[in-house]
Amino acid sequence: MKIAFVGTGVMGKSMAGHLLKAGHEVVVSTRTKAKAEDLLQAGAKWADTPAEACRGAQVAISMVGYPQDVDEVWRGPQGFLTTAAQGCILIDMTTSSPALARELAQAAQARGCAALDGPVSGGDRGAREATLTIMVGGAAPDFEAVKPLFAAMGKTIVLQGGPGTGQLCKLANQIGIASGMIAMSEALAFAHATGLNLETTLQSISGGGASSWALLNLAPRVLKGDFAPGFYVKHFVKDIGLALDVAREQKIQLPGLELAAKLYDQVVAAGQGDLGTQALARRYFELR
C-alpha cells in the first residue's frame, strides 16, 4: 500500500519503520525533517505537508501530540482531507479526544473516505519491538482492510466499536497506568526510606502479586537514573486531562486519577514535562 505517515517522534518513527519493512511505500511528513532522516535513509519518501503526503495514498496515519495537532493534520489548510482520494482510510493513532474522533469520522465520510481511531499503548519499547496494543474504533470492514498494517506495528489489536471507542478504551488504559505509576513510585520511595536494597526489593515485588507493567518496565529505568522519555510526561498529563473530561461528562468520580493529575502537575511545574512518565518516582524522592 501507499501510506502517508505524519508524526515520527519517539514512537511514530519506529511504527513507520515497521511499515517500511513490511514492504509498503511510506511517505512521511513532520514539522522537523531531521527527525525523519533515519526513515528517509531506509527508503521512505518525504512530503512537505500532510496534504502532499496523502495525495494518492490508500491509507493516511497520524501519530502526533495533541488533539489540536490531529485536527490540523486532518482538517487544516494542508491537511489529509484536502487531498484524500475516495476510499482512502485515515487512521489517527494519537491518544486524542473521543469527541474529536467522532467528528473526524463524519468529516472523512463526507469526503468519501473512512476513518479509524487507533491509539496505542506500549511506549517506546513496544513501538520498537512491534508489540504495541492497538485499540481501534470504527467500522469493521475498514478495520479488517488495514489490520495487516496494525499487525506490522503491534501485537494486541482489538476493534472496540464505532468511532471514538478506540480513544475511550485508551483513556481507560491511561487511568490504569496513572494509578500504577503512583504505586510503583510509592513502593520504591518506601523501600528507599527504610534502607532496603532497591535492586533486590524490585526483584521480589515485581515477581509477586504487586507486579505491574510499571514495575517491570519503568522501575528498572528509575533505578538506573534513566528518565529519558519512552512516553512524555507532558503527553501523559494531556491524556489524564482527556480522561477527567470524559469522567465529568459521565458524572463519575475517579479519585485515583485526580490524585495522579495533581502529582503529575507537580512534575510539570518542576520543569520535567519532557521527561518520561517514570519521572514521577524522582519527584517522590525529592519531596521526602
Sign of the Cα torsion 209, 215, 220, 225 reads: negative
Q: Residue 102 phi/psi, 5° resolution? A: -70, -40
End-to-end CA distance of the chain: give it in Å, rounded. 54
Residue 50 in contact with residue 79, Cβ under 8 Å?
A: yes
Residue 57 in contact with residue 4, Cβ under 8 Å?
A: yes
CA-CA distance, 233 to 10, in Å (whole number)? Answer: 13
The bridge status of strand 120-121 relative to strand 132-137 is antiparallel
The residue type found at 264 is Y
Catalytic residue among 170, 224, 234, 238: 170
Q: Of the candidates 38, 47, 57, which has an alpha carbon nearest to the alpha carbon of residue 128? A: 38
Buried b (16+ CB within 10 A) or exposed e, 149-167: bbebbbeebebbeebbbbb
Cell of 44: 521512505
Residue 218 carries which DSSP code? Answer: I
* Cα dihedral 185/190/192/195 (nearest 10): -160
Residue 94 in contact with residue 63, Cβ under 8 Å?
A: yes
Among this protein's residues, is 21 annotated catalytic? Answer: no
- Give residue 27's region: left, alpha or beta (phi > 0; psi -120 to 50): beta
Residue 253 in contact with residue 175, Cβ under 8 Å?
A: no
CA-CA distance, 68 to 3, in Å (whole number)? Answer: 22
Catalytic site positions: 170
